[in-house]
Amino acid sequence: MLKKSDGVRTFTRHDLRAAIYNCCPALSRAEARKIFDETFDELADALVRGEPVKLRNFGTFNLRAKRQRTGRNPKTGAEAVISARRVVTFHPSPALLTQMNQDSADCLPN
C-alpha cells in the first residue's frame, strides 16, 4: 500500500518488495526481499564506484561532482561554505517520458 503524505502518495521499498513477491509466487517473502536488497546494493555500489547505471526503458543514474562554493542562508542572509560533494542525477528514458505524458494527459482537464 502506498503511504500518503500531504496528499501525495509515496512508493516505498516495501511496495517494491511486495511487487516482486506478488509477481513471482514461487518465491518466499525472504527470497523476494533478498533479490530486492541485493539488486539495490549492486546499483548503489556501481554509483559509488562512479559508474553510470542504465535501466532500459526507465532511465540513467549518473554521479556528478560538485565543487565547493559559497552559499547564502535564505533566512538570515549569512554566507556559508558549501563543501564539495558528489550527487546522483537521474535522466528518464524517452520511453518513460512518453508513458508518463500519456498517463498525465488522461488526468488533465480539457
Q: Is the pTM of this model over 0.85?
A: no
Condensed to tens digits (0 to 9), the pLDDT of residues 33-70 reads: 898 899 999 999 999 999 999 999 999 999 999 999 99
Averaged confidence pLDDT in the chain: 88
Condensed to tens digits (0 to 9), the pLDDT of residues 93-105 reads: 999 999 988 866 5
Mean pLDDT of the region 63-78: 94
pLDDT at 44 (0 to 100): 95
In SS3 terms, the chain reads as CCEEECCEEECCHHHHHHHHHHHCCCCCHHHHHHHHHHHHHHHHHHHHCCCCEEECCCEEEEEEEECCEEEECCCCCCEEEECCEEEEEEEECHHHHHHHHHHHHHHCCC
